[in-house]
Chain A
Amino acid sequence: MANRNPRSFRTWVLRLTMAAAILCSAGFGYGRYRVYLMNQDVLPEFVEPKTGPRTAVTNFLGVEIGHTSLENLQSDVLVPGGWDCSDRSARAMLQEARRNKQAEIERVKAAGGDVDTVSGASLANRRSPRERNPQVRMSCENTNAQSLPGSGRVESVGRLLYVFDSPNHPVRHASFERVHSEKTTALADFRATIDAVTATYGPPIATTAPVPKDPDALPWLEPLRVSWRWSDLEVSVTLLNFGGPRGIRVGEVAEVPWPVRANAPREADG
């Protein structure tokens, strides 16, 4: 049997211990780094507006696109409007889902149950990469068209939406979308909305097809779109006839074109 050199043996043990310690530290550090990364906001790379005319008007659905802050939206528009609005961004939804799941687990634990019986329990402790986007989507479902600012709209109920790139960015997008079951009402709403936007922004610059006079002439599954466009703002009124029970969707949108920086209209005003 070979003689073992005690000094050499100790050296190897020391080396192995050090290697293990380094590996453990690296693993721990990497884990912490990943957690750190997952908690960092990731904003898209915004760009300057293309050359071309800038908008002089930014008013739409009670806000100034590119100007109004999230705070001002809430205090000056949503609260006075009395609408039922909430942040429906991916981040807000996932955080809510996580809170709900954690609460469910706590309830099961409190009742002496087995946590393994909670379906999707992993959601409670897992952050999704989607949450790195700090976007805020103030969504007001079931909003009555008659209650909207500057409304002369045909009666309908729809979704009012305001989008911010983050709580610190001005509003990028405002829209109101509704679904009609009758062609006549949908066409009347479409026409009235075009007239309302024209009154604010002037004549449209593009239409995908002539707006029919006869509701029965509304094309099936062919989007109708009337547009106003500047390098820092796009406004459109759309109609899409899905046919049958799916109804006819009418929408009005004003937004800073993606991915132009959201404050471009404000900068244009000087």
Chain B
Amino acid sequence: MKTMTRTLCLVALISAAACSEDKDGTPAGMDSGVTAGGASGSTNTAPNLYQRLGHEAGIGTVMDDFIGRVLADSKINGYFLNSNVDGGRLKNCLVLQVGNLTGGPQIYPSAGCRDMKTSHAGMRISRRDFDDLAGHLVMALQKAGVAATDVNAIVAAVTPMASDIVEDTANNATVYQRVGRKPAIATVVTDFIGRVVKDTRINGFFTMAKADRLHTCLVRQVCGIDGPCKYGMEVDAAEPGVSRAKPCVDMKSSHAGLTNTQGMGISMADFGALVEDLVAALDAAGVTAADKNALLGVLGSLCPDIVSTPEKCGK
């Protein structure tokens, strides 16, 4: 409900800003004469939007808050909580971009920052991912005391970028999106772990497992099937039980000693019990049969690393 309200507010905000453009196409609230690219042809002595934001330092403060909000939002932080994402570079690029958009001297793209289309290509970002991200930008700007008209102006400048960033306009191109992104995956995983813990057929294998780490790694594994998470590329102080030094490990390593080649390890029946629990959790979450099948297909590909009779996997 809160999310829906936020999205509606943002949409209303964006619509209001987008619909109230000046005759020359400049969004309302943005100083006339300030165009993308930063060159100001205005002879006004009044400070432009870039100056009102506090120049580069002010924008940097807003971006710090913005990035913090994004990283704390499990709906979209899967794109960022991977060790191959350079947080410092991300912030620098954002500062350059916002500076450029608001009439500052910054040039964008530059300094290794790529254009929006190139940098987001293939990430299968959905419309709602974009809206959630924009919502955080609005909140960060508001928290910094930026005037409503200036916030609207920035939102109006950012909104057209959606066409370069969003690849999944209907929010349904991937299992990740259809299931409901990381929060829904986390709910399914919580249910799944609860079922496994009560499942006497297999719960002995999970004794002494670190619950928070198990949960995080399972979420990241499912999220990484066709979503943004990169399994094994965890970062520090972001998700419970994992860090850059202690990332989620591959199935072979995590089942070491339980998959010996004498046929005495985890059996296909054990693996089947685990799959049954997963199907039950997905079923309870209302996941469609086609999506369940897609998820099981990925789980099935891990089977040879888990069971003692890998030749029987998939049969």
Contact = CB atoms under 8 A, between A and B. Distances in A.
A251 B315 CA distance: 18
Interface in A199-223: 219-223
B276 A223 contact: yes
A88 B264 contact: yes
Contacts of A179: 272
Contacts of A135: 204, 207
A230 interface: no
B75 to A, nearest CB: 26
Contact of A86 (B264, B273, B279, B283): B264
A14 B200 CA distance: 58
Interface in A11-63: 42, 44
B283 A222 contact: yes
Given A88-B264, A128-B257, A139-B267, A163 B201 contact: yes
A135 B280 CA distance: 25
Contacts of B208: 42, 129-130, 132-133
Interface residues of A, number: 50
B289 A90 contact: no
A257 B258 CA distance: 26
A258 interface: yes
Contacts of B199: 258
B260 A100 contact: yes
A255 B198 CA distance: 11
B45 interface: no
B253 to A, nearest CB: 10
Given A223-B279, A240-B276, A133 B204 contact: yes
A123 B272 contact: no
Interface bin, chain B = 35 or more
A242 B265 CA distance: 23
A245 interface: yes
Contact of B283 (A93, A123, A223, A245): A223
A249 B203 contact: no
B145 to A, nearest CB: 52
B interface majority secondary structure? helix
Given A97-B260, A240-B279, A133 B207 contact: yes
Contacts of B72: none
Contact of A88 (B198, B267, B272): B267
Contact of B257 (A93, A172, A246): A93
A258 B200 contact: yes
A177 B204 contact: no
A222 B281 CA distance: 11
Contacts of B260: 93, 96-97, 100
A90 B264 contact: no
A161 interface: yes
Contact of B267 (A44, A159, A175, A249): A159
B269 interface: yes
Nearest to B284: A223
Interface string B180-216: 0000000000000000011111011101100000000
B314 interface: yes
Given A88-B267, A123-B256, A249 B272 contact: yes
Most chain A C-beta atoms within 10 Å of own C-beta, residue among B201, B267, B296: B201
Contact of A94 (B197, B203, B257): B257
Given A90-B205, A221-B279, A223-B283, A173 B269 contact: no
B262 interface: yes
Nearest to B202: A137
A68 interface: no
A97 B258 contact: yes
B292 interface: yes
A220 B292 CA distance: 10
A120 interface: yes
B92 interface: no
Interface of A: 42, 44, 86, 88-90, 93-94, 96-98, 100, 120, 123, 128-130, 132-133, 135, 137, 139, 141, 158-159, 161, 163, 172-173, 175, 177, 179, 219-223, 238, 240, 242-243, 245-246, 249, 251, 253, 255, 257-259
Given A130-B205, A141-B269, 13 more contacts: A93-B260, A94-B257, A96-B262, A96-B264, A129-B208, A132-B208, A137-B204, A219-B289, A221-B283, A238-B276, A240-B279, A246-B314, A253-B201
Closest 9 CB pairs of A and B: A159-B269, A133-B207, A129-B208, A97-B257, A173-B200, A135-B204, A258-B198, A221-B289, A221-B292
6 contacts: A90-B204, A120-B256, A133-B204, A133-B208, A135-B204, A135-B207
